[in-house]
Structure 1
Amino acid sequence: MNIRPLITHLFLDIGGVLLTNGWDHEARQRAADHFGLDLADLEARHHLTFDTYEAGKISLDTYLERVVFHQKRTFTLGEFQAFMVAQSQPDNAMIGLMSRLKTRYGLKIAVVSNEGRELNAYRINTFHLNEFVDTFISSCFVHRRKPDEDIFRLALDITQAKAENVLYIENTPLFVQVAESLGIQGLLHTDFHATRSRLVAYGLADTSDARE
């Protein structure tokens, strides 16, 4: 019988696991509708610029100057930023689950995420992620983005965890595959109930009566 290695660390994505995505296509669609923007132009400029923002090489103001405020608008930068951050919502069931598992099993938790600095800071502080996350390996801090293998190697170095003792919970299949190629165990997240059930196979049973 195969016995899984003991899990000592959880590596977690933020968008799609702990929170909604911060600034995905659906959010940009809502922004285009709300502010009367040309979605095709917004998308084209976004895809040329956003990776640079997530890598921590430009500020949110600069990103928006290139993507939205390259022409005169009837709304302000502050109004648009307020709309952006309002798109983030917590998955309280998943946050609660990770917090309980950390306490029960003495786990160390690290976030490995692609996020720009200002949005990342807003999400960490607003939803109190630093109350249960020990380390944030965010792309804006380390200037590496998933699927670059180096962000996972850096996470292992920073946490001093052995790859086989890490479980990475992520909702993007490619990123799970990259982590697994380095010996990290991967769990593809689809929803709270499925992930809670699958965690039992890793020796991480949640015995609370919490429900989504």
Structure 2
Amino acid sequence: MIQSANHKNDGENTAITCLFLDIGGVLLTDGWDRHARERAAINFKLELAEIEERHHLAWDTYQEGKLTLEDYLDWVVFHQKRPFSRAQFRHFMFEQSKPHPEMIELVTQLKLRHSLKIAVVSNEGRELNAYRIAQFKLDELVDLFISSCFVHLLKPDADIFRLALDIAQVPARQIAYIENTPMFVQVAESLGIRSVLHTDYASTSATLASFGLQRES
């Protein structure tokens, strides 16, 4: 019988061999957060309160992979006739994603220096996720994508972390997780995963160094 990696012997090495990462707020900006929706409301002359109400009803279902982006847009934006096209709105959505170059460089250096396995554990809708992976070449850095749209689980559900542990086949004590949402850090830590609440490059780099993951000088 195959045993899950997080159930291996307690006496094994606790050196970090794998990084779990969020995408939005860590490697990149959030893909479609409140600020992006505010910019969209201004740009397309939309009623923000109505967009926000509809967004919150549909967003989790989209991120779980149970709606397409077209479905989401049907319910949130194009439930009535608009003077702009779907293509224009999709382009605007995608353009909200920007990189955090220092964090991408940090993870790249740590992966090379410490031979780390890199796994994304992220709440992302499929089309936005695909765009962000391709646009910022995340597939050249990341070994495993445990994205909510693929596995139909959303953080803070602990099962997405348990699934990530099983897929990565690395014990929880050998993983460091970088995440910018405090609740998600707490869930990961409850499973024995050492976690970093990411607020800025300098503090995250220092915390990882305290775990034994120093970047090149």
Q: Which runs of 5+ in 2 are unaligned?
A: 1-12
Q: How many residues align?
A: 205
Structure 1 counterpart of 2:120: 111
Structure 2 residue 210 is matched with structure 1 residue 201: yes
Structure 2 counterpart of 1:172: 181
Separation of aligned partners in 1, 2:56 and 2:77: 13
Structure 1 residues 120-154: Cα deviation after superposition (integer angstroms, max 9, x where no partner):
00000000001010000000000000000000000
Structure 1 residues 41-70: Cα deviation after superposition (integer angstroms, max 9, x where no partner):
000000000000000001000100100000
Structure 1 counterpart of 2:7: none
1:100 to 100, 109, 129: 109
Separation of aligned partners in 2, 1:200 and 1:85: 34
Separation of aligned partners in 1, 2:54 and 2:121: 26
Structure 1 residues 91-145: Cα deviation after superposition (integer angstroms, max 9, x where no partner):
0110011011000000000000000000000000000001010000000000000
Separation of aligned partners in 1, 2:14 and 2:197: 18
Identity rate, percent:
62
Q: Which amino acid aligns with 1:138?
A: S
Q: Which amino acid aligns with 1:62?
A: D
Counterpart secondary structure, 1:124: helix
2:39 to 9, 17, 30: 30
Are the counterparts in 1 of residues 32 and 93 from structure 2 also a CA contact under 8 Å? yes
Are the counterparts in 1 of residues 109 and 216 from structure 2 also a CA contact under 8 Å? no
Q: TM-score, normalised by structure 2?
A: 0.93
Structure 2 counterpart of 1:124: 133
Q: Which amino acid aligns with 2:32?
A: W
**Deviation of the 1:196 alpha carbon:** 1.0
1:183 to 183, 188, 192: 192
The 4+ residue runs of structure 1 with deviation greater than 2 A are: none
Q: Which amino acid aligns with 1:71?
A: Q
Separation of aligned partners in 2, 1:40 and 1:80: 18
Separation of aligned partners in 2, 1:192 and 1:163: 24
Structure 2 residue 88 is matched with structure 1 residue 79: yes
RMSD of aligned residue pairs (Cα, Å): 0.8
**Deviation of the 1:197 alpha carbon:** 1.5
**Deviation of the 1:199 alpha carbon:** 1.2
Q: Which amino acid aligns with 1:183?
A: G
**Deviation of the 1:194 alpha carbon:** 1.1
Structure 2 residue 26 is matched with structure 1 residue 8: no
Separation of aligned partners in 1, 2:191 and 2:26: 21
Q: TM-score, normalised by structure 1?
A: 0.95
